[in-house]
Structure 1
Amino acid sequence: MIKSIIVDDEMLSRNTLKKLLEIHCPEVEVVAECEDAGSAALHVSGLKPDLVFLDVAMPGKNGIEFLKEYGEINFEVIFVTAHDKYVLQAIRFAAVDYLSKPVEEHLLITAVTNARKRIQAKTANHNMETFLHNIQQKTNQQEMQLCVPGIKGFQIIKLRDIVYCEADNTYTVLHLTENKKLVASRPLMDYESLLQDTSFIRIHKSFLINIQHLKEYQKGEGGIAIMSNGKHLDVSRRKKEHFINYMKQFFKY
């Protein structure tokens, strides 16, 4: 059984989530319900749950403030009602799950399944450290961290260290600074979606680049993007116009 606590200031939301868990995730045992961060701190310390369903927007201390002040986080977290676009980005980069209200059954099942895997792998502390780091980087996006899953687990890297991402069937090769490489067990399209609204842009079916590492663009049928590590990457004809417009906007020329 997965011992869990629900933290939400709305009684109806707590009751609804508990009922959904009973029906769709019977392996989850709800051992306590809390309506604020203070109560949550007491119950988490005393009951030592495996998993906490944490409402982000609560009166008084919100869910993020609770995590910041709690200390060592040795439990998994599934966030609920993350409305803020930046908070959602920080959550996704940390490879943590979230649910929006009203909670959809299939998303709940997926989130619990993912949490179970992290509980078994004992990665909760690393994921939360990454999330709390990211939430502090609102004005410095390149310093945000990304949890990258691999065959043997995952690694944490900063966005600024990614020069470009390259498709490799269902995997993605992340080309990093200092000529390092990291193979991620997710396809390139996942990273294109994950890194939208950042400095990354898809220039080819095989390449997603960090424009912060773009050193030169050479005109041509599609053109060539020359990166900070010296690599010459093709820009597809179909993506050329979007890429040039993005460069103009990003570099303001």
Structure 2
Amino acid sequence: MSAVPAVTALIAEDEAPQRRALHEQLQQAWPELDIVAVCEDGVSALEAVEAQRPAVAFLDIRMPGVSGLDVARAVVERGGLVVFTTAYDDYAVRAFEAGAADYLLKPVQPARLEQAVARVRGRLDERRARTGGPDLRALIDDLESRLRPQGERLIRWITASAGDSVRMIGIGEVLFFQAQEKYVRVVTADGEGVIRTPLKELLAGLDPDEFWQVHRGTVVRVQAIDRVSKNELGRHSLSLKGHAERLPVSGAFLHRFRGM
């Protein structure tokens, strides 16, 4: 009789002490679990999801930049289960009990983690026989709408350096942001400037319905995207409406363009 393959898992948590603690607790609560990636940010987690296709992902919801919700979409699309970790006993998270395998409040308590592990293992055992079930992608969209920046938390203006002057750029003018060493380019239809604000901080103040991260160093206005193409080497890039520059799209973010 052939051995049952090990269940693979990913951990994504931006706080190092909590990342280490969850890793150690999982090793104790589920010794046979094969933890294939331990990630400190959402971009690394997306790349690991693409490369490893874990069966289960333990995701911090509120990571800066690419959130746990973005990573969850990629996990679910590849048939995996999700366990969210959060410091907030938010009622919105409770809605995920029907779709996600579970959620854990931080700091994670060993007894509560054991309950989550039991639930995940039960879901994995049932998955072959189960047909239908809750639409986790719809639940992710709902939770994102509840947690996204609102009102004064949304960026409305960018003050960017342009040569010897300073440009005031309304957020509605921006085509894309692109990280370049110490600066971030802010590109509009009629020019560009640079800012020192890191891309991760920018993402926290951008409406996720209007701006998508498509590469570790690039965030694009969705309405500005014309098409996504693949070259002979299998690399993807996108073109913008009325703008000649092409932008790279990493494999970790291709799930955004399914059905476009």
TM-score, length of structure 2 as denominator length: 0.47
Higher helix proportion (structure 1 or 2): 1
TM-score, length of structure 1 as denominator length: 0.48
Structure with bigger RCO (C-alpha 8 Å, 6+ apart): 2
